[in-house]
Amino acid sequence: MSTGHRRLEPGKLVVASHNKGKIREINALVEPFGFEVVSAADLGLPEPEETGTTFEANAELKAVASAEASGYPALADDSGLVVDALDGDPGIYSARWAGEAKDFAMAMRNVEEALANADAHTPEQRTARFVAVLCLAWPDGHREFFRGEVEGRMVWPPRGDHGFGYDPAFLPDGFEKTFGEMTADEKHGWAQGEDNPLSHRARAFKLFADACLSE
Ligand code: IMP
């Protein structure tokens, strides 16, 4: 059946990322489909500057740069934490809030300070979501986009040492554990079966898999 999307045939797939946490998660998502996954970091491809103003634009520029430089289809993820009381910050700047040293303890503290400055103290005032946009780009210029989101709220102090980035400060709606306290299977929602993805990345990935991959 045609979905209107271009199918991706098994073969080499470049994960257009230099972020170890993301590469690990994307590899785990894609490998069961029989791809030979290599990362932009493995190939020594440069990391393009993220000059876009949306998750879509940044995912696209990363995927297109890797597809053009490698000659293989490339999958990029642009993601971030969107906090309502902060007008959507850190948003597309989520990685940048951690500075050159990628210090997420500091980034979570900065979010907490900004929430305090915004007088956001109750759970209702501390709503947030993680957003992930996947862009799959082919060397011939074809592109596909998939967006996943997971709603939750910011908690303080951060809890747990699983995952990466802002995981310890994010409590997904309906759960008592932060993403930082969850195993990867729990964070992605696979503990409840593959048809019930939880994390933003697993939700975007399911849309991608349903549209473009065959098992
Ligand atoms: P970028 O997509 O490479 O610009 O960076 C996204 C940033 O968003 C990451 O460095 C993390 O700070 C944050 N982020 C995205 N997804 C997650 C997640 O699943 N858990 C925690 N932090 C995340």
Instruction: Confirm if 105 and 156 have CB atoms less than 8 A apart.
Output: no
Which of the four pLDDT bands, split at 50, 70 and 90, describes residue 26?
confident
Mean pLDDT, all residues of the chain? 93
Order of strands across the sheet that contains 12-15: 36-39, 12-15, 74-83, 127-137, 143-154, 170-172
Q: Which domains does the chain have, with CATH numbers?
A: 12-212 (3.90.950.10)
Tell which wins on pLDDT, 135 or 23.
135
**pLDDT for 10:** 85
Ligand 1 probe mutation, 94, 100, 109, 135, most atoms within 8 A of CB: 94
The whole-model pTM stands at 0.92
pLDDT at 18 over 70: yes
**Centre of ligand 1 from the C-alpha of residue 87, in Å:** 18
Q: Is the distance from the beta carbon of residue 180 to the nearest atom of ligand 1 less than 6 Å?
A: no
pLDDT exceeds 70 at position 49: yes
Local confidence band at 2 (pLDDT 50, 70, 90 cut-offs): low
From the list 112, 148, 150, the residue with the least C-alpha distance to 129 is 150
Task: Place 191 in a pLDDT band, splitting at 50, 70 and 90.
Answer: confident
